[in-house]
Structure 1
Amino acid sequence: MRSAQGAASITLAAFLSATPVGAASDAGSKTTAPGDADLSAVATIGKALFSDPKLSASGQMSCASCHDPGNHFAPSNARPVQLGGAYLDQPGLRAVPSLTYKRQTPPFTFGMLDPTSEAGEAAPQVVAQQGAGAKGAAGASASTQPAPQKTAGTSAAASPVPRGGLFWDGRADTLQEQALAVLFTHFEMAEPDRATLAATLRARYGDRLAQLFGEAVRDDDKMLIDEAAFALSRYQTEAVEFHPYTSKYDAFLAGETQLSPAEARGRALFDDPKKGNCAACHLDTRSADGRPPQFTDYEYEALGVPRNPAIPANADPHYIDLGLCGPLRHDTISTQPGNCGMFKTPSLRNVATRHVFFHNGVYTSLQQVLRFYAKRDSDPRAIYPTRNGKVARFDDLPTRYQGNIDRTDTPFGRKPGEGDALTEAEQADIIAFLETLTDGYAPPEE
């Protein structure tokens, strides 16, 4: 047995009527799933569980409802948050991430990074697991230390940093834990209790699970649920469609194709520490042992994206999503002010097929995302709302936590009047490069 551990308002009716956007239609955005013969017996059960709506309180929602296999296991609509619950009318709190490229995600740690390690491979020297009493090298509280400066291709953190874990706030260490959390969350699959879920699993999968794990699994609710969650994790780990590495950029790294002029310019801007500086967090080079880049350093950042009034929870001006500080994470990490407003850096693989961006889904296009990076500091009036004639900068984070926001790493740190960090042409080139990260690329026939 494996153990798991003042915004504008929007009415729910208006949210429910949001028009879904279909999955990307271009052939390059589709992945081909292997047959069951390519999976272990337990992963095959996991594949069935992944698409089974009977595991939800509504009987109509499966993992695949939000993690659409036809859209790289991300939502296929443009809602900022998805709907779940017993009657499929409960909106979530954050944008749903893709489930692709998750198997290499390290467990959550809060500690020092080894600056001598290869980019993207730095192992946290744990100061305190789950953040209990985390201290810097000089004994200062992590909440009082400035955010470390990042430079493309390096990991030069001089103070403890949060890293790893699943969900936007890293509160699950394994795919198994993540699956269990979703099954019982009231605005997701919303199973009312373990006994109810166990009864469903027993009726639908009891024979198959007993063949693998023994007859005792039938009568032990905890074992039955844990093994089902383990099967879900094995499916996501083994099935190639969760980590196909079939993008044009992968083909480029393998020497099988060339980038177009716009894509090549975009890559240079992506890497340039004085321009895009994207690679400081979204690592784009192979690891020391030759593994393809994951396009994330698994660390956490407070970026100060604008509040999204389309999230129903935000109709309450007192509601604030503080990332590592809750409302979904409840541990010592969540009590440290220096962590508030920080969210995990996502992988950029397949990012061009997403319909919403950032933890709150505030943007619906890559053009809007690049504009945010280019103008956040140089032209905040173009990014944030104006109240009583004054720009409400960082309007989704209370003033007491705004010191956590990254204000120094390029492309941030510019002052109004200094000009945007990236021109519109440069933004377009970076987007061209990001489009090469979509899986399913087929080189043109000669």
Structure 2
Amino acid sequence: MKQVLAVLAAAVLAGCGGGGSSSGGSEAGTAATETALSAQAQLGAKIFVDQTLSASGRQSCQSCHDPARAHGAPDDHAGQPGGKDTLTDQGGRSSPSIRYLKFNASFAFANDGTPTGGFFWDGRATSLKDQAGGPFLNPAEMANDSVEDVVAKVAKASYAAEFRQVFGQDIFSRPQDAYDRLKLALQAFEQEDPAFAPFSSKYDEVLRGKATLTAQEQRGLVLFNSPAKGNCAACHPSAKGADGSHPLFTDFSYDALGVPRNPKLKTVQDDPGFFDLGLCALPGFESRADLCGAFKVPTLRNVALRGSFFHNGRFTDLKEVLSFYVTRDTDPARWYTQADGSVVKFDDLPERYRRNVNRTEAPYNRQAGAAPALTEAEIDDLIAFLKTLNDGYVTP
């Protein structure tokens, strides 16, 4: 599934300002800081933080996409709280970072059949604009009853006059159009504000020749790129693009990793027979059993700032994530032991779909009892490198 890399992602990104398979830009973020946001993007910035646009009056886009956490989840919850009144509902998936998504494209199958692109964990949204409209109407998130409900709230907002000035004095009399413009404003904000793609990590400074990795960080980079060790670069390319643009640390593809079931998710608590099937659950893909269990490959930029990991938020510690990667197959009892003491490998998928889980690429290509691809010390080295991907690096 993952043999896509340069040629595929270059084609995917060509229409949306991206570089090569691993790239999105380098100096673009610096240049953007000198450019004022458009009127639409300024509106988007206000909408992004407006809690009054939720049914509870207590939730905004920023509630699940905190700038202090690289526009990802603000905590380590498996799913963020939401709903009508008391925020007692829970999102069915973890909230990923939305940084660097402006370099993504809509979902498509490559010539070799590899799925790539799309927004949300399952790629169901076609653009940032499409994605922006989802949470307002999701009953477990901002929980508005209808488009008209959302637009009525915008019409009462402090920026309503500004909204009319940008999109037309009669815009609120046309709710569907007004909702479309709301989504357009949010997309403009995410595309234009340099905070969503700053390329300001230590690793970016290294690529610019303005910083140097420590010995441990350099060892971690070698492990990250090594096909026989971490093999992270197979899905999270780390090299500059052919045009010199900086890597995005995702190829925007999908993979089935067999992440253990998370009992902290309300969907699992309410229905022990429920399984989140990912890509194959989308309308039109019901017959694609080979896609069941596949979820979007996220960027590893700012990964050390995350409080929860994977689509189901199963892990809350980066070292535990890497330990899972390298011992999933060599010590499955560590991750898949059930309440009755049995070991059910890949327990968050129905048995008939477990064959889809990636077992051919390192570090997953090992048998039970074999040595893991990384030692504990090597995991620490890899984490040291991953921390260099955090935005906001200041040269000492």
TM-score by length of 2: 0.89
Is it true that 1:369 corresponds to 2:367 in the alignment? Answer: no
Task: State the match for 1:86 in structure 2.
Answer: 84
Partner of 1:46: 44
Specify which of 212, 215, 227 is matched with residue 273 of structure 1. 227
Q: How does 1:419-438 map to 2 (within 5 A)?
A: 419-438=371-390
Match for residue 60 of structure 1?
Answer: 58
User: In the alignment, which residue of structure 2 is the partner of 1:102?
Assistant: 101
Residues 389 and 200 of structure 1, relative CA distance in 2, 3 Å threshold: closer
2:148 matched residue in structure 1: 195
> Does the alignment pair 1:167 with 2:120?
yes
Per residue, is there more helix in 1 or in 2? 2
Asked whether the equivalents of residues 266 and 431 of structure 1 are also in contact (C-alpha less than 8 Å), the reply is: yes
| CA displacement, residues 74-125 of structure 1 (integer Å, 9 cap, x when unaligned) | 122111110111111111111000111110011101232xxxxxxxxxxxxx
**CA offset digits 1:291-314 (Å, max 9, x no partner):** 210000100000001001111111
Which letter maps to 2:245? R
TM-superposition CA deviations, 1:383-437 (whole Å, max 9, x none):
2114655311111011100111000100011012221111111111111100000
> SS at the partner of 1:38?
coil
Instruction: Quote the offset at 1:216 in angstroms.
Output: 3.4
From 253, 272, 292, the counterpart of 1:317: 272
Q: Deviations over 1:214-250 (max 9, x none)?
A: 2232321111111111001100110011111100000
Kindly indicate whether the alpha-carbon contact (under 8 Å) linking 1:53 and 1:61 is maintained by their aligned counterparts in 2. yes
Partner of 1:225: 179
The letter of the residue matching 1:173 is T
Matched, 1:350 2:302: yes
Tell me the TM-score normalized by structure 1.
Answer: 0.79
Partner amino acid for 1:235? Answer: F
Residue 197 of structure 1 deviates from its aligned partner by: 1.2
Per-residue CA distance 1:27-82 (angstroms, 9 max, x = gap): xxxx99x9998211110010000000111111111111111122211122111110
Task: List alignment gaps of at least 5 residues for structure 1.
Answer: 1-30, 113-158
Q: Is the 8 A contact 1:46 1:231 kept in 2?
A: yes
Q: Secondary structure at the match of 2:115?
A: strand
Distance in 2 between residues matched to 1:222 and 1:293, nearest whole Å: 38
Residue identity opposite 2:115 in structure 1:
P
Q: Deviation at 1:341?
A: 0.5
Q: 1:260 to 1:334 in 2, by over 3 A?
A: farther
Q: Which one of the candidate residues 405, 410, 423 is aligned to 2:357?
A: 405
CA distance in 1, matches of 2:299, 2:286: 23
Number of aligned residue pairs: 364
Aligned-pair CA distance for 1:178: 0.6
The corresponding residue for 1:15 is none
C-alpha displacement of 1:289 = 2.0
Instruction: Please report how far the alpha carbon of residue 196 of structure 1 lies from its aligned counterpart in structure 2 after TM superposition.
Output: 1.3
What is the distance in 2 between the residues matched to 1:389 and 1:216? 64
Tell me which amino acid in the other structure corresponds to 1:38. Answer: A
Moved more, 201-210 or 161-170: 201-210
Structure 1 equivalent of residue 73 of structure 2: 75
- The 8 Å contact of residues 162 and 299 in structure 1, kept in 2 or not, is answered as yes
What is the one-letter code of the residue matched to 2:378? E
The letter for the 2-side match of 1:412 is: Y
Aligned partners of 2:286 and 2:294: how far apart in 1?
10
Partner of 2:285, secondary structure, is helix
After superposition, the C-alpha distances for 1:186-230 in whole angstroms (9 at most, x for unaligned) are 111111011111111222244212222222323211111111110
Tell me if structure 1 keeps the 8 A contact 2:119–2:125. Answer: yes
- Aligned residue among 337, 340, 355 for 1:385: 337
Contact 2:235 / 2:251 at 8 angstroms: preserved in 1? yes
CA distance in 2, matches of 1:249, 1:339: 34
| 1:321 counterpart letter in structure 2 | D
Q: Distance in 2 between matches of 1:200 and 1:412?
A: 49
Task: After superposition, give the CA deviation of every residue in 1:283-332 in whole Å (9 maximum; x if it has no partner).
Answer: 11112222210000100000001001111111221111111133xx3x11
Contact 1:53-1:62 at 8 Å conserved across structures: yes
Q: Which residue in 2 is equivalent to 1:150?
A: none
Q: What's the counterpart of residue 132 of structure 1?
A: none
Q: Aligned letter for 1:428?
A: D
Contact 2:228–2:373 under 8 Å retained in 1: no
The 2-side partners of 1:106 and 1:284 are apart by 19
User: How far is the alpha carbon of 1:167 from its aligned partner?
Assistant: 0.5
Task: Report the CA distance shift for 1:218/1:312 in structure 2 as closer, same or farther (over 3 A).
Answer: closer
Alpha-carbon offset, residue 334 of structure 1: 4.0
Distance, in Å, in 2 between the alignment partners of 1:182 and 1:96 is 11
- The answer to whether the 8 A contact 2:33-2:194 is kept is no
Query: More deviation in 188-197 or 256-265?
Result: 188-197
SS of residue matched to 1:188: coil
Q: Residues 302 and 342 of structure 1 are in contact (CA less than 8 Å); yes or no, is this contact kept in structure 2?
A: yes
**1:257 is the counterpart of 2:211:** yes
Q: Which amino acid aligns with 2:275?
A: I
Distance 1:63 1:442 in 2: 28
Distance 1:36 1:286, change over 3 A: closer
Kindly, what percent of the aligned residue pairs are identical? 44
SS at match of 2:161: helix
- The answer to whether the 8 Å contact 1:39/1:239 transfers is yes
